[in-house]
């Protein structure tokens, strides 16, 4: 299936058999007006799923006690009320309560669901399965549950048969994935999987690439169906299907088209943010989950307390257990608020495997530091070239071949070196590198040094930025640098600091280390910014600076212990 992208603010006419997408929806994040990518409408001629229209729920009518038999009153009870009128009954109040179970002012009814139970289970199961298998793995991915309020809102919108996201008043607080098509049967899971399959066009933004906003890298027509499905903080979903007798799909009238609406909460696809944090599964779950983890997802065990049932009787007597009271509670409507971006510890060093290729971890950004495991010498992952390695080479085995690592693993810095016309084979340190006589992207590897610092060392002194990239040693900071005077150990900026700032005091300010114990940090030199904003964090007050002419900058990262 081919894909096309709609121009923002302009809708394109659909072509048969192709997916069309919606324009973008403005949102406000952290005080900055950005655009939330519309999660898109997928359409596919010649494909459908849905048995047909769902009937509307049967309306409920207010009734009254009557001696005329009805479908809601057992015949024996009607005769008992009409004929005896309590003559043989010692407690007429008890009788009224018993009859009230059958004759209610607003009787309960079984409302037809907006989506069949088996479809609902398939959608929910597939969402959690796909969220648990993301790559790179997620450290804070939450388990998704079904929400009936979201289902009802999805059903209400699907019944409008309007080919766009909506309603507008609801989009400020929910995310939404949509699809419409007609023809042969397709299950809901088919469409959920097709949304997720946009992953092939998506490149995950690692923390060191978010400067401070994460880049949006989608090589296909659209990736926002995928990112909504795997948005870590989204933990509720509700979907509905509706058969539209006529629906206008960008100027073309489709008859008997099946419309799928899935609503999500909390909403995802915030521009400038990664869909989830990468790391060991469940290592950064919210505290409310109490450490629970299931299938790589943050999971909260639900306590179920079954209600004891009482057997209904034909005679009127005091039942052995109190009658169950049905209370219909309207869910509390929470006013949507702007998502609050909580500062999180970020890492520059990426943990890789023996067979991880450089091109798989280094696309469209400056490559930096990697942690290789032990045992890569016996791996069969390929290495191409000598000194300059081809981009499809294993990072860790290239480092062993070059001689900066051995079979025990360790840290390696990677630098991209552009295209080379060919790559020469050789055998070094137990690794055989192959040749490749065709132009391709290349990289080099270098050893990561470790160095102890005092509270006053700056990046300008240690490893100033030089284009295209500079590598700094992993540094160890002493304790109590936060107590040093700002005159001798200044900190200028927030998140990104001037290269004349104290490295160790900036590390305390950024939360990469604790001031009372110190510790190791990774430093990434970057080009200068036009201005720097000061802030008070972790007991360290940083300064502001604008209109800088000289000097560069740096970012600082925590080290996994």
pLDDT of 303 over the 70 cut: no
Which DSSP letter does residue 469 get? -
Say whether both 173 and 259 belong to one domain: yes
> Which tokens sit at 389?
């390695």
pLDDT of 544 over the 80 cut: yes
Alpha-carbon torsion 536, 542, 547, 552, what sign?
negative
- The per-residue pLDDT for range 151-186, each reduced to its tens digit, is 999 999 999 999 899 998 898 889 999 988 787 778
Identify whether 313 is part of a domain: no
Say whether both 29 and 132 belong to one domain: yes
pTM, 2 dp: 0.41
Say whether both 425 and 460 belong to one domain: no
What confidence score (pLDDT) does residue 248 get? Answer: 87
Q: How many CA atoms lie less than 13 Å away from 544 in the CB half-sphere?
A: 5
Say whether both 400 and 499 belong to one domain: no
Q: Phi then psi for 25, rounded to 5 degrees?
A: -115, 120
Alpha-carbon distance of 302 to 295, in angstroms, equals 16
Range from 9-13, 201-205, 228-232, 378-382 carrying the lowest mean pLDDT:
9-13
Alpha-carbon distance of 354 to 373, in angstroms, equals 7
Identify whether 294 is part of a domain: yes
User: Which residues contact residue 377 at a Cβ distance below 8 angstroms, ignoring those fewer than 6 apart?
Assistant: 397, 400, 406, 407, 430, 431
Range from 318-327, 388-397, 432-441, 454-463 carrying the lowest mean pLDDT:
318-327
Parallel, antiparallel or unpaired: strands 474-477 and 519-526:
antiparallel
Where is 419: in which H helix or E strand?
Answer: strand 410-420
Residue 114: band (very low, low, confident or very high) from pLDDT cuts 50, 70, 90 = confident
> Which tokens sit at 554?
């740096």
Average pLDDT over residues 259-276: 92
To the nearest 10°, report the CA torsion of 522, 528, 533, 534.
Answer: 50
Range from 322-326, 461-465, 538-542 carrying the lowest mean pLDDT:
322-326
What confidence score (pLDDT) does residue 529 get? Answer: 87
Identify whether 94 is part of a domain: no
Identify whether 103 is part of a domain: no
Q: How many C-beta atoms lie closer than 10 Å to residue 443's C-beta?
A: 22
- The per-residue pLDDT for range 422-480, each reduced to its tens digit, is 999 999 999 999 999 999 989 999 999 999 999 999 999 999 888 878 889 999 999 99
Which DSSP letter does residue 73 get? S
The beta strand positions in 212-321, using DSSP E, are: 236-249, 252-265, 293-294, 297-298
DSSP 484-530: S-TTTS--BEESEEETTSBHHHHHHHHTSSBTTTBEEEEEEEE---S
Residue 345: band (very low, low, confident or very high) from pLDDT cuts 50, 70, 90 = low
Alpha-carbon distance of 212 to 209, in angstroms, equals 8
Longest dimension (CA), the chain: 107
Say whether both 40 and 172 belong to one domain: yes
Say whether both 38 and 148 belong to one domain: yes
pLDDT of 363 over the 70 cut: no
Query: What 3-state class would DSSP assign to 362?
Result: coil
Question: Which residues make beta-bridge pairs with 440?
Answer: 420
| CATH code of residue 48 | 3.40.33.10
What confidence score (pLDDT) does residue 553 get? Answer: 92
Average pLDDT over residues 248-268: 90
Higher pLDDT, 62 or 554: 554
What confidence score (pLDDT) does residue 106 get? Answer: 41
Residue 88: band (very low, low, confident or very high) from pLDDT cuts 50, 70, 90 = very low
What confidence score (pLDDT) does residue 383 get? Answer: 95
pLDDT of 393 over the 70 cut: yes
Q: Are 124 and 146 in contact (CB under 8 A)?
A: yes
Q: Are 53 and 243 in contact (CB under 8 A)?
A: yes
Identify whether 472 is part of a domain: yes
Range from 34-43, 475-484, 499-508 carrying the lowest mean pLDDT:
34-43
Alpha-carbon distance of 474 to 488, in angstroms, equals 23
What confidence score (pLDDT) does residue 26 get? Answer: 35
pLDDT of 512 over the 50 cut: yes
Q: Is the peptide bond before 136 cis (omega within 30 degrees of 0)?
A: yes
Say whether both 431 and 542 belong to one domain: no
Alpha-carbon distance of 62 to 64, in angstroms, equals 7
Q: Are 10 and 23 in contact (CB under 8 A)?
A: yes
**Strongest mean pLDDT among 142-151, 287-296, 332-341, 544-553:** 142-151
Alpha-carbon distance of 282 to 137, in angstroms, equals 10
Say whether both 416 and 467 belong to one domain: no
Say whether both 425 and 505 belong to one domain: no
Residue that terminates a domain, selected from 447, 465, 489: 447
Which DSSP letter does residue 443 get? E
Alpha-carbon distance of 230 to 275, in angstroms, equals 6
Identify whether 98 is part of a domain: no
| CATH code of residue 436 | 2.170.130.20
Identify whether 310 is part of a domain: no
Identify whether 113 is part of a domain: no
Average pLDDT over residues 26-39: 35
Range from 33-47, 130-144, 357-371, 498-512 carrying the lowest mean pLDDT:
33-47
Alpha helix locations (H) across 242-338? none
Query: What 3-state class would DSSP assign to 153?
Result: helix
> Which tokens sit at 314?
């034909």
Q: How many C-beta atoms lie closer than 10 Å to residue 108's C-beta?
A: 9
Question: Which residues make beta-bridge pairs with 541?
Answer: 536
Residue that terminates a domain, selected from 298, 327, 360: 298
Domain that holds residue 176: 2-53+118-298
Say whether both 127 and 256 belong to one domain: yes
Q: Are 405 and 446 in contact (CB under 8 A)?
A: no
User: Which residues contact residue 88 at a Cβ distance below 8 angstroms, ignoring those fewer than 6 apart?
Assistant: none
**Radius of gyration of the chain from its Cα atoms, rounded to whole angstroms:** 31
Q: Are 285 and 233 in contact (CB under 8 A)?
A: no
Residue that terminates a domain, selected from 432, 447, 462: 447
Residue 510: band (very low, low, confident or very high) from pLDDT cuts 50, 70, 90 = very high
Cα–chain center distance at 549? 39
Alpha-carbon distance of 128 to 297, in angstroms, equals 8
Parallel, antiparallel or unpaired: strands 519-526 and 531-532:
unpaired
> Which tokens sit at 54?
């769902």
Say whether both 136 and 39 belong to one domain: yes
- Could you give the percent of the chain with pLDDT greater than 90? 48
Alpha-carbon distance of 13 to 16, in angstroms, equals 10
**Strongest mean pLDDT among 222-226, 468-472, 545-549:** 222-226
Q: Which among 467, 525, 311 has a CA at the least distance from the CA of 506?
A: 525
pLDDT of 99 over the 80 cut: no
Residue 546: band (very low, low, confident or very high) from pLDDT cuts 50, 70, 90 = confident
Helix 117-131 with 188-196: angle, nearest 10 deg: 20
* Mean pLDDT score of the chain: 76
Alpha-carbon torsion 14, 16, 21, 22, what sign?
positive
pLDDT of 362 over the 90 cut: no
Say whether both 235 and 163 belong to one domain: yes
Alpha-carbon distance of 16 to 486, in angstroms, equals 65
What confidence score (pLDDT) does residue 367 get? Answer: 65
Average pLDDT over residues 69-93: 41
Q: Are 176 and 39 in contact (CB under 8 A)?
A: yes
Structural domains counted in the chain: 3
- Could you give the percent of the chain with pLDDT greater than 70? 70
Alpha-carbon distance of 528 to 547, in angstroms, equals 10
Residue 385: band (very low, low, confident or very high) from pLDDT cuts 50, 70, 90 = very high
Q: How many C-beta atoms lie closer than 10 Å to residue 140's C-beta?
A: 20
Residue 233: band (very low, low, confident or very high) from pLDDT cuts 50, 70, 90 = very high
Alpha-carbon distance of 281 to 294, in angstroms, equals 10
């Amino acid at each position: 299936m081919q894909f096309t992208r709609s121009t923002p603010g302009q809708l394109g006419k659909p072509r048969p058999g192709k997916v069309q997408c919606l324009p973008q929806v403005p949102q406000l994040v952290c005080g900055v007006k950005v655009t939330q990518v519309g999660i898109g409408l997928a359409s596919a001629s010649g494909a459908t799923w849905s048995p047909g229209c769902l009937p509307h729920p049967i309306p409920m009518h207010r009734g009254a006690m009557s001696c005329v038999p009805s479908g809601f009153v057992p015949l024996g009870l009607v005769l008992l009320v009409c004929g005896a009128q309590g003559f043989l009954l010692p407690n007429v109040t008890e009788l009224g309560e018993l009859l009230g179970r059958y004759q209610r002012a607003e009787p309960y009814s079984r409302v037809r669901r907006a989506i069949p139970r088996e479809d609902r289970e398939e959608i929910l199961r597939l969402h959690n399965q796909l969220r648990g298998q993301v790559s790179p793995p997620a450290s804070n991915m939450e388990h998704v549950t079904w929400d009936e309020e979201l289902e009802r809102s999805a059903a209400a919108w699907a019944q409008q048969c309007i080919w766009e996201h909506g309603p507008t008043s609801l989009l400020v607080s929910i995310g939404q994935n949509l699809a419409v098509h007609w023809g042969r049967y397709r299950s809901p899971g088919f469409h959920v999987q097709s949304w997720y399959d946009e992953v092939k066009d998506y490149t995950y933004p690692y923390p060191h690439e978010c400067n401070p906003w994460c880049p949006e890298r989608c090589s296909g027509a659209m990736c926002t169906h995928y990112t909504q499905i795997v948005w870590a903080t989204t933990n509720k979903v509700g979907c509905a299907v509706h058969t539209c007798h006529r629906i206008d799909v960008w100027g073309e009238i489709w008859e008997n088209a099946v419309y799928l609406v899935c609503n999500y909460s909390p909403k995802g696809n915030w521009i400038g943010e990664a869909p989830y944090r990468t790391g060991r599964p469940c290592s950064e779950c919210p505290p409310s989950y109490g450490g629970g983890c299931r299938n790589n997802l943050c999971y909260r065990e639900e306590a179920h307390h079954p209600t004891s049932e009482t057997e209904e009787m034909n005679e009127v007597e005091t039942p052995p257990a109190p009658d169950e009271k049905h209370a219909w509670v309207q869910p509390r409507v929470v006013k949507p608020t702007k998502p609050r971006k909580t500062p999180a510890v970020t890492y520059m060093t990426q943990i890789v495997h023996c067979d991880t290729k450089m091109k798989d971890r280094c696309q469209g950004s400056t490559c930096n530091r990697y942690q290789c495991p032990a045992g890569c010498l016996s791996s069969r992952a390929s290495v191409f070239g000598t000194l300059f390695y081809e981009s499809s080479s294993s990072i860790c085995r290239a480092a062993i071949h070059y001689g900066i690592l051995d079979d025990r693993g360790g840290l390696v810095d990677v630098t991209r070196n552009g295209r080379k016309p060919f790559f020469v084979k050789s055998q070094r340190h137990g690794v055989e590198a192959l040749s490749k006589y065709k132009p391709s992207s290349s990289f080099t590897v270098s050893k990561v040094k470790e160095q102890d610092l005092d509270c006053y060392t700056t990046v300008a002194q240690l490893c100033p930025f030089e284009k295209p990239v500079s590598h700094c040693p992993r540094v160890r900071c002493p304790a109590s640098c936060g107590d040093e005077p700002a005159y001798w150990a200044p900190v200028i900026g927030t998140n990104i600091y001037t290269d004349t700032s104290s490295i160790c005091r900036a590390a305390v300010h950024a939360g990469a280390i604790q001031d009372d114990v110190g510790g190791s940090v990774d430093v990434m030199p970057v080009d200068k910014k036009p201005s720097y904003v000061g802030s008070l964090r972790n007991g360290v007050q940083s300064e502001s600076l604008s209109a800088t002419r000289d000097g560069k900058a740096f970012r600082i990262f925590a080290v996994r212990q």
